[in-house]
Structure 1
Amino acid sequence: MEEKWLTWAKQIQSIAQAGLTYTQDNYDYERYIELRQLSTKMMETYTDYEMKTIQQLFANETGYQTPKVDVRAVVFHEGKLLFVKEKADGKWSLPGGWGDVGFTPGEVAVKEVQEESGYVVKARRLLAVLDHQKHPHPPSPYHIYKVMIECELIGGNAAESIETSDCGFFAQNELPPLSTGRITESQIEMLFVLHNDPALGPVFD
């Protein structure tokens, strides 16, 4: 579903970053720098981002490039799903964020729920591992794997956070406006199906 130009730009960036990491030839090093610059120019041309922002987001890493990991907590209570309202865009998503070094995916899910909603949960099972570019998200400079972990509500109280301004449980037929860079309606539909049938295994890709 991802635009071809964005896929190509990310592939060029990945090749350039790997080359900069492993090459021992000065001539090749300069060519990889040129490839990285080409990828950022493509992003600047076809998006509303400024070059400085693109360089910070898209071409600032070193080492072999790998996908980023976005962990989302799936918390059901009385048939409804927990959402948090993102201050960044005023829309709603599942609690979560980038995976943290030193934490397991389950630990990240638990931590993000408490930080973003005030609720205390326990991670129970893996529901899905999804490739961001295979789903109807807006274009992203990153290649992202989304890890969805079902959690059991065990305590806490609703609260705001630095990143969120509200939280609440919603039924499938009353979804709030979604922050589609983080979660999509089709993914929410999939999560309700998985929750309602514990015999189903994790979904991937």
Structure 2
Amino acid sequence: MEKPLKWLDWAKQIQGIAQTGLAYAKDVYDRERYEQLRALSLEIMAEYTEVETGKLAELFAGEHGYATPKVDIRGVVIRNGEILLVREKEDGEWSLPGGWADLLLSPTEIAVKEVREESGYEVKALRLLAVMDNQKHNPPAPYHVYKMFIQCEITGGRAQEGVETSGVRFFGREELPELSRSRNTEAQIRLMFELLEHPERIPVID
């Protein structure tokens, strides 16, 4: 597991303090100071990453209310000993179908929707496999994410690329392609194989 970068932790903490402060501050001078903290967190991120400031403001400092982690849902489908992955248009690498949690939808509803939209397969959600903190497993990111992995079973449909995907394939444990590591790591994919081979195991939770 990669050691977190200190500047990234500091920037996220400053952003969290600013976001929470802006949610509750009533005094105009306090709000001004929190806005300055938010701007400082963006300046740190822009200095040490290649992400443009506008994108950072949208993803990293665009949230409102009490600062809390984002939620990423991944659908886990295994058929004949192989796992379903989709190629992401954004980076050309492969991941479990999934994405950010949507308002008004439950985690299982999101898993079903994401698998359908990104792979073409209709599925039903069966059980929670794992909840992981991206800071403990994935490459450093400008935002804090909890990842939920949900086992799904194919009920229909066919392999079909989506708006955000350019490939749909099943892969064996020993033939995994280049993975989109911000979405899922090789260790996480291998853990999914293991959990599905041993359904008696309880979900893995950080």
Offset of residue 127 of structure 1? 0.3
Separation in 1, partners of 2:43, 2:25: 23
SS at match of 1:173: coil
Verify: 1:180 aligned to 2:171, yes or no.
Answer: no
Verify: 1:50 aligned to 2:52, yes or no.
Answer: yes
Separation in 2, partners of 1:50, 1:116: 27
SS at match of 1:190: helix
Separation in 1, partners of 2:4, 2:73: 21
Match of 1:171 in 2: 172
Percent identity over paired residues: 57
Separation in 1, partners of 2:111, 2:58: 26
Match of 2:148 in 1: 147
Name the aligned partner's letter for residue 99 of structure 1: A
Separation in 2, partners of 1:152, 1:182: 21
For residues 119-150 of structure 1, the C-alpha deviation after alignment (integer angstroms, 9 at most, x for no partner) is 11110010000000101x23211110000000
Structure 1 residue runs of 5 or longer lacking an equivalent are none
SS at match of 1:61: coil
Name the aligned partner's letter for residue 87 of structure 1: K
Structure 2 residue runs of 5 or longer lacking an equivalent are none
- Equivalent residues in 2 for 1:27-46, closer than 5 Å: 27-46=29-48
**Aligned residue pairs, count:** 204
Name the aligned partner's letter for residue 14 of structure 1: G
Superposed CA RMSD in Å reads 1.0
For residues 5-30 of structure 1, the C-alpha deviation after alignment (integer angstroms, 9 at most, x for no partner) is 11111111011011111111222112
Separation in 1, partners of 2:51, 2:82: 37
Separation in 2, partners of 1:197, 1:49: 40
Separation in 2, partners of 1:141, 1:88: 17
SS at match of 1:172: coil
Match of 1:24 in 2: 26
Verify: 1:130 aligned to 2:124, yes or no.
Answer: no
Separation in 2, partners of 1:102, 1:18: 23
Runs ≥4 residues deviating over 4 A? none
Separation in 2, partners of 1:157, 1:51: 39
TM-score (norm 2): 0.96
Separation in 2, partners of 1:75, 1:105: 15
SS at match of 1:151: strand
Match of 1:120 in 2: 122
Separation in 1, partners of 2:116, 2:34: 43
Match of 1:198 in 2: 199
Match of 1:92 in 2: 94
Separation in 2, partners of 1:111, 1:33: 37
Separation in 2, partners of 1:100, 1:195: 26
Offset of residue 32 of structure 1? 0.8
TM-score (norm 1): 0.96
Separation in 1, partners of 2:55, 2:113: 28
